Chain A
Amino acid sequence: MIAPLQAASALSRAWVRLYTARLPETLRDARRAEIDADLWEHQHDRLGSRAAAGTIAAEIVMRTCLGVLDDLGWRLEVLRAARRDSNDGRIPMLRFTTRQTRWMGLAGLAGGLLWAIYLLSLMQRNRSDGVPSWGLVAPVVVAVLLLAGLMGFLASHRERLGPKGAIGVSLLIASMASFLLANTLLGALPAGTGRSLLGAVLAVGFAILPIPGFALIGLALKGPAGAGAFLVAVTGPLGMVLPFVLARLGIVDPQWLLPDSPVNLAYGIYFVLAASWLAVAGYSTYRRAQTPV
């Protein structure tokens, strides 16, 4: 084949391979074969009418480039139709096997329980004792377990949660991710304004995001699960934000907010409730994965 034609066809084929990547096999192969056939017909038809190779190559490049937006639009249409056909509306990255979901549920259960125990034990210690050595590793382990648990919960309860609940769980996932980043990344960064700023952002993310997160889950889920999520959402501002506002206004004694323990009692209660809810959510994920569909 003539060099410019070869190059133009190669470009067109490379583009087809790119925009059909990771599409359902039958659609992907059909589109690739169809464009292959079109390229062949185009070249042979135009060479037969004595067109110059450079002209044909330019035509092929033009036809490829001018169709780029439609190619991308077609890809979106095909993906949307494939998702509609699968009829579950689940996010592809959150499709786990039953076995994986079961383990994720167990991770969530363990994470929730460990977090509650950890918080309760810290609340009973004296501030002067400081945080025990295991207290540095435990939160990271707990956060990893809870992240897995929340992903499993989102995947297995997708239909029950609906869009609102899914956003709520995603906020909890973001909160856990903030916590993990704060406990891992921050330690590796040199001290300075950047580190302080990132630390503040991550701390706010960890502490504040669960409040709207639990509220949305409370709105989405019916029964005790929804009521529990609401309770956590309400305890958040009441237990964490309100006392600080009252202290600032001089209505309560700031000392009340800082009991003699490494964990502030006000938000300790909020976190213990949140941990308990997450443990129950993990158990629910585990049970759901046990039930044959």
Chain B
Amino acid sequence: MRRKPGQLLPLEVEILEVGLALQRQGLTHFHGYSLAKLLRERGGRRSLTAHGTLYRALHRLVSAGLMEASWEDHGIAERENRPRRRLYRLLGAAEPAVARARAAERARPKLGSLQPDLESP
């Protein structure tokens, strides 16, 4: 099924929510692996989000103008003797987008509410 323009997938909403939580703690930038770990902890999952799923969602959020991606400074990575990280930062449009997504989710009828009440006579 093709999704409507501007509509966020559950994982994308989750990523933005994690990003907002980090922002509130004063952390404005995060990288893919740290995000995968936070998503696992938050969702109580056993495994980390798959590479393809995570980076495709991040790519979409950047394309949608909700996040910004930039490469870490060469010097920092060299000093720590590791590959350069790609850092993500939430943009101003992220918070209203999450609020809209959550409101739409609440407005959607739940499967349970559509079932007939078998208990009533």
Contacts and interface: CB of A to CB of B under 8 A. Distances in A.
B51 A63 contact: yes
A170 interface: no
Contact of A70 (B37, B48, B56, B85): B56
Interface stretch (B12-20, B26-34, B92-100): B26-34
Interface in A32-78: 33-38, 40-42, 44-45, 59, 62-74, 77-78
Contact of A66 (B53, B55, B59, B84): B53
A59 B47 contact: yes
Contact of B51 (A30, A44, A64, A81): A64
B82 A44 contact: yes
A42 B50 contact: no
A31 interface: yes
Contacts of A31: 55
A12 interface: yes
B52 interface: yes
A71 B82 CA distance: 24
A207 to B, nearest CB: 41
Interface string A232-275: 00000000000000000000000000000000000000000000
Interface secondary structure of B, over-half rule: helix
B75 interface: no
Q: Could you say which interface size class chain A belongs to?
A: 20 to 34
A67 B59 CA distance: 14
A42 B51 CA distance: 11
Contacts of A63: 47-51
B22 interface: no
A66 B50 contact: yes
B53 A45 contact: no
Given A34-B86, A37-B33, A67 B48 contact: no
B83 interface: yes
A74 B33 contact: no
A41 B52 contact: no
A37 B32 contact: yes
B101 interface: no
Interface in B43-96: 47-56, 59-60, 63, 82-86
Contacts of A40: 82-83
B48 A59 contact: yes
A97 B11 CA distance: 44
A174 B47 CA distance: 51
Contacts of A42: 33, 48
B52 A33 contact: no
Nearest to A65: B50
Nearest to A19: B52
Given A41-B34, A74-B56, A36 B83 contact: yes
Given A31-B55, A38-B32, A38-B33, A62 B86 contact: no
Contact of B50 (A44, A67, A72): A67
Given A38-B51, A41-B31, A67-B50, A33 B83 contact: yes
Contacts of B84: 33, 37
A30 B55 CA distance: 11
Contacts of B59: 74, 77-78
B32 A71 contact: no
B52 A71 contact: yes
A45 B51 contact: no
Interface of A: 12, 16, 30-31, 33-38, 40-42, 44-45, 59, 62-74, 77-78, 81
Give the 8 A-B residue pairs with the shortest CB-CB distance, closest first.
Answer: A67-B52, A67-B50, A70-B52, A71-B52, A66-B50, A41-B33, A74-B56, A37-B83
Given A35-B51, A42-B48, A71-B56, 11 more contacts: A12-B51, A34-B32, A37-B83, A38-B31, A41-B31, A42-B33, A62-B47, A62-B50, A64-B52, A67-B52, A74-B56
